[in-house]
């Protein structure tokens, strides 16, 4: 067991997960608007954490590995749900995305009216904030 | 109970360091985030980093019970995000006044009355 492939697989998974988590954190810090930050947090963050949990599962045996896989399953089931609901709720609350040439498809579909383009993509409106 | 990973002397500290760096970057966004949605996103990312850190700590100390905490934290992360989402809803004080939780300044030509489907969602 100690000379097999699993210890190396576990190390690679742990380091890869931590690296992807770091990339997601950089995205959360630097991307221009709320929706792209959601994208970085919910995709890269969930993938990094899932890879770390898979590495823990590969390094251990029995109930330990099963618990890690269970945590990974729960994370992969709930993180996209939370991100989707959060994006819909933010759009309903009137947070405009920094749209590209294709415009805001959800606003056109809902008819909610927030179809104005946001020209300052790197500077969200901060005039009236606390 | 055997937990074997290759190069544990440097893999585990390096992973912890990367996670701490990620948490610091997300904390900057949590403090600075201009809208409420940015802060909810940052809190979500922080709980995911905490799950990863708890799993790594369980591996480093060889205690499988810590993974139960990771499972519970994953569930609580989802519930917490859903609870924050409920705060995003528009709250109307009267028929002609709609107050959003994240005080968006409505545009000059924008009608502030909520459409009827939003009223039904409440």
The whole-angstrom distance between B97's CA and the closest CA on chain A is 15
pLDDT of residue B8: 75
Average pLDDT (B5-20) is 87
Give B55-80 pLDDT, tens digit per residue.
Answer: 999 999 988 889 999 999 999 999 99
Please list every residue in chain B whose beta carbon sits closer than 8 Å to the beta carbon of residue A78: 74-75, 77-78
pLDDT interval class at B28 (50, 70, 90): very high
- What does pTM read for this prediction? 0.75
More confident of the two residues A30 and B88: A30
Give the lowest-confidence range in B12-21, B46-55, B96-105.
B96-105
- Residue B115 DSSP symbol: P
Q: What is the 3-state secondary structure (H, E, C) of chain A?
A: CCCCCHHHHHHHHHHHHHHHHHHHHHHHHHCCCHHHHHHHHHHHHHHHHHHHHHHHHHHCCHHHHHHHHHHHHHHHHHHHHHHHHHHHHHHHCCCCCCCCCCCCHHHHHHCCCCCCCCCCCCCCCCCCCC
Domain ranges (residues) in chain B = 10-86, 91-121
Mean pLDDT per 10-residue section of chain A, whose length is 130 residues: 77 94 94 90 93 92 89 93 90 79 72 48 46
Q: Are A129 and B34 in contact (CB under 8 A)?
A: yes
| CB proximity B91 to A under 8 Å | no
**Does the interface ipTM go beyond 0.95?**
no
Please list every residue in chain A whose beta carbon sits closer than 8 Å to the beta carbon of residue B1: 60-62, 64
Asked whether the beta carbons of residue A59 and residue B3 sit closer than 8 angstroms, the reply is yes
pLDDT of residue B57: 93
More confident of the two residues B91 and A27: A27
Domain ranges (residues) in chain A = 6-96
- Residue B35 DSSP symbol: S
């Amino acid at each position: 067991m100690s000379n097999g492939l699993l210890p190396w697989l576990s190390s690679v998974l742990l380091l890869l997960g931590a690296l992807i988590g770091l990339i997601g954190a950089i995205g959360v810090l630097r991307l221009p608007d709320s929706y792209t930050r959601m994208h970085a947090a919910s995709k890269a963050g969930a993938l990094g954490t899932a890879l770390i949990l898979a590495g823990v599962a590969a390094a251990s045996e029995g109930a330990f590995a099963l618990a890690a896989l269970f945590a990974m399953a729960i994370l992969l089931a709930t993180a996209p749900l939370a991100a989707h609901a959060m994006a819909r709720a933010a759009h309903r609350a009137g947070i405009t995305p920094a749209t590209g040439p294709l415009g805001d498809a959800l606003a056109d579909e809902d008819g909610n009216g927030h179809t104005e383009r946001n020209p300052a993509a790197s500077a969200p409106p901060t005039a009236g904030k606390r | 109970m055997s937990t074997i990973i290759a190069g544990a002397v440097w893999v585990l500290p390096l992973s912890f360091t990367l996670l701490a760096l990620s948490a610091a970057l997300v904390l900057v966004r949590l403090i600075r985030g201009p809208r409420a949605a940015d802060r909810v996103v940052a809190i979500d990312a922080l709980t995911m980093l905490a799950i990863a850190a708890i799993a790594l700590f369980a591996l480093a100390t060889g205690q499988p019970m810590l993974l139960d905490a990771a499972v519970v934290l994953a569930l609580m992360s989802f519930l917490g995000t859903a609870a924050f989402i409920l705060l995003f809803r528009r709250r109307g004080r009267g028929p002609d006044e709609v107050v959003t939780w994240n005080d968006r300044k409505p545009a000059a030509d924008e009608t502030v009355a909520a459409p009827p489907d939003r009223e039904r969602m409440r």
